[in-house]
Structures are given as C-alpha cells and as structure tokens.
Amino acid sequence: GQNIDQPTEMTATEGAIVQINCTYQTSGFNGLFWYQQHAGEAPTFLSYNVLDGLEEKGRFSSFLSRSKGYSYLLLKELQMKDSASYLCAVRDQDYKLSFGAGTTVTVRA
C-alpha cells in the first residue's frame, strides 16, 4: 500500500511562489501525479513524474526523487485562480492511484 503525506494548508500572496511537498512510502512505485481541485469541482490533472528530476509546464513544475520518496509541486507567479486544493497521488505496480489528503492553497491579494 501507499502512505502519502502533504501539508494540510498553505497561504501565499499573489505573484509569489509556493512549493507543496509530498512524501510517500510505497510497496511498488509506478509514477506520481499532481492534481488540482477547486472547491466543489472534480480534480484536474496537472503533472506526471516517473523518472527523477524536474518537469516544467508553464507556471507549474513538479519534481521527483524516487530514492527519497519525495516530490514537490512548484507554483510560480501565483494568481487568485490558483486558490484550490492540490492532490499528490502515487500509482502502484497494479496501476492503482493512492491520493494524499490534499493541500489547500489560499492566495491572498
């Protein structure tokens, strides 16, 4: 099974950078995903890492270290619309996803 930890809440100012950390313990690793979920809506895909290193996608970047069981999601040039919950999810060898409880990011003006 998977044990996935991420902070519950983070607050940052518009235009700033925020880093959301995710640590995991897994019996079999087959990729790590980050999803964004606005209140009352469905999760939407942000990024995928399966090899060590940084994946950059516009204002969002995601990093993975498999040896450390660690990932982070970096949100740059924060905008008010980035206020949402960010979910870290680990896929196992049977292709099932396990999600962390999510990190609620609040962007202040």
Partner 1 sequence: IAGITQAPTSQILAAGRRMTLRCTQDMRHNAMYWYRQDLGLGLRLIHYSNTAGTTGKGEVPDGYSVSRANTDDFPLTLASAVPSQTSVYFCASSPLAGGYNEQFFGPGTRLTVL
Q: For binding to partner 1 (CB under 8 A), which residues are involved?
A: 1, 30, 33, 41-45, 48, 50, 87, 89, 91, 94-102
| Shortest distance, position 58 Cβ to partner 1, whole Å | 16
CA distances from 5 to 15, 78, 80, 81, 82 (A): 26, 23, 25, 24, 21
| Shortest distance, position 5 Cβ to partner 1, whole Å | 11
| Shortest distance, position 13 Cβ to partner 1, whole Å | 26
CA gap 40, 59 in Å, rounded? 24
SS3 38: coil
